[in-house]
Structure 1
Amino acid sequence: MRDTTTLYQHGTLAMLVGGLFEGTLPLGELMEHGDTGIGTADCLDGEMVIVDGQAFKVQGSGDVIPLTPETKVPFAAVHFMDAQEHRSVVGMTDEQLKQQLLGELKMDNVFVGLRIDGTFTHMHTRAVNKQNRPFPNLTAATRVQPEFEQDQVSGTVVGYYAPHLFQGATVGGFHWHFLSSQKDFGGHILDFTIDQAEVSAQVLENLVQHLPVKNTEFREKQLDLQTMNDDINEAEN
């Protein structure tokens, strides 16, 4: 039976901040826990979007590649979509939508799975390039990232809101990716303007945090917690 109350996350954002980019969980195993989600692939290779049980990777080149169950991921989050809240929105920026959702749904202290289907007047994304060993840290890897923009593009936004208390385990606040209907454009969202769209929100009661305990690098890594918050904000915004 599908558990629609749980956010399942493999790895932590703090691991990526420290340069732990090696894939440690096959995508097929990850998707036993959800049909919707976001993340990245082995070696920090692009921006992953999972929609309707299908996984895609937006590469630094801008190309969109379907992923196989054997693809390994270092960091990803999934849930089974069963949204309780739905609303139609017209002519709204991402910042306006964030403020509306926070105010109306009282989201500050809960995890929320988000999906937006519609047409966007403007969509601005980026995608990190695949990294090679020896891996840099996350901020170094993301300081030079290809950015992409399209106008009047239809597609799906997938992502999460997480309480800021959990910054480090994940991204505190909103974190969402985009995939076009044609499966030829997407990435980590920098900003957007909605033409018209349907917004679905799903409050998730539980967080299951799965760690790569058999990975030697993970077990031995010493993280600099004092600078982690600034590093996350630089890499994700």
Structure 2
Amino acid sequence: MNEENVVYQHGTLALLVPGLLEGTISMGDLLTHGNMGIGSGEGLDGELIILDGIPYQVDSTGSVNLVKDDFTMPFATAHFSNFKKFIDLKKITLNDFEKEIIEKSNSENTFFAVITKGKFSKIKTRVVKKSKKPYPTLVQTAHDQRVFDAENIEGTLLTYYSPEVFNGAAVGGCHSHFLADDHSIGGHVLDFELDNGTSELQVFDTFTQHLPITNETYMNHKFDNSQTAAAIDEAEK
């Protein structure tokens, strides 16, 4: 198997919904599965973005921190970079960007990643404040978040796409994290206007999902699947 065709995910988005927020993989372990990625720390401690093997955490104060190998996460995605030239973009919003990359990638039925570097005339990100045990639900944590805005900022947007049929296992549709070149803003992307930028594409034929079977809380939890999709839409989209 060509590892550059594989996207690796630890945990499921569904396990965050009821508040299973314990860290069950370390950053050191995650980096053995990729040099690009996104995720969140234990207790949803910040928004993570891995660029060229360097893991960054944007915390709820807006500070950007380098992540140590022993930092743990309940949910994270990673892959080894093999991006190919894709499209140049000008004057585009987040919603139109997502439509454009899905249409032009011709990969709606599989997983792919897009990395976009450019100048953003506006960008809005969010970072959830770290929770402590007993952990709240995903929707509850989304109500305790910091929102950051910037204008005329250069940076990198890392977007993962998952087919909607996988919603719950992953984030169905697009899921983007951002980091400014000057580290002045970052996090989970809520909205943007891209002035101009260049996107590269990497399509995956294999989705590897690693489950935290040594975590007793996860193994004994009874999931209510009827609530999962609605909670994900409210908290993540």
What TM bracket, shorter-length normalisation? over 0.9
Maintained 8 Å contact 1:89/1:199: yes
Tell me, in whole angstroms, the C-alpha distance in 1 between the residues paired with 2:55 and 2:65.
9
Maintained 8 Å contact 1:112/1:162: yes
* Aligned position for 2:187: 187
Matches within 5 A, 1:35-46: 35-46=35-46
Tell me, in whole angstroms, the C-alpha distance in 2 between the residues paired with 1:85 and 1:236.
28
Tell me, in whole angstroms, the C-alpha distance in 2 between the residues paired with 1:16 and 1:102.
26
Maintained 8 Å contact 1:158/1:177: yes
SS of the residue 2:219 aligns to = helix
* Aligned position for 1:232: 232
Tell me, in whole angstroms, the C-alpha distance in 2 between the residues paired with 1:70 and 1:146.
25
* 1:153 maps to amino acid: I
* Aligned position for 2:14: 14
Tell me, in whole angstroms, the C-alpha distance in 2 between the residues paired with 1:184 and 1:155.
10
* Aligned position for 2:200: 200
Are 1:77 and 2:77 matched, yes or no? yes
Output one character per residue of 1:70-91: Cα deviation in whole Å (capped at 9) or x when no partner: 1111100001111234221111
* Aligned position for 2:122: 122
CA drift at 1:164 = 0.3
SS of the residue 2:32 aligns to = coil
Tell me, in whole angstroms, the C-alpha distance in 1 between the residues paired with 2:140 and 2:121.
32
Are 1:66 and 2:66 matched, yes or no? yes
Output one character per residue of 1:9-58: Cα deviation in whole Å (capped at 9) or x when no partner: 00110011120111111101111110111000111101111111101111
- % of aligned pairs identical? 36
SS of the residue 2:108 aligns to = coil
Tell me, in whole angstroms, the C-alpha distance in 2 between the residues paired with 1:109 and 1:190.
24
- TM-score, normalised relative to structure 2: 0.97
Task: Flag structure 1 segments of 5+ consecutive residues without an equivalent.
Answer: none
CA drift at 1:94 = 1.4
Matches within 5 A, 1:59-208: 59-208=59-208
Tell me, in whole angstroms, the C-alpha distance in 1 between the residues paired with 2:107 and 2:143.
30
* 2:155 maps to amino acid: G
* Number of matched pairs: 237
Tell me, in whole angstroms, the C-alpha distance in 2 between the residues paired with 1:194 and 1:127.
21
CA drift at 1:2 = 7.2
Tell me, in whole angstroms, the C-alpha distance in 1 between the residues paired with 2:232 and 2:100.
24
* 1:10 maps to amino acid: H
SS of the residue 1:43 aligns to = coil
* 2:181 maps to amino acid: S
* 1:148 maps to amino acid: F
Are 1:33 and 2:33 matched, yes or no? yes
* Aligned position for 1:216: 216
Output one character per residue of 1:136-170: Cα deviation in whole Å (capped at 9) or x when no partner: 11001112311000000111011201000000001
- TM-score, normalised relative to structure 1: 0.97
CA drift at 1:97 = 1.5
Output one character per residue of 1:187-221: Cα deviation in whole Å (capped at 9) or x when no partner: 10001111111111111110110011101111111
SS of the residue 2:128 aligns to = coil
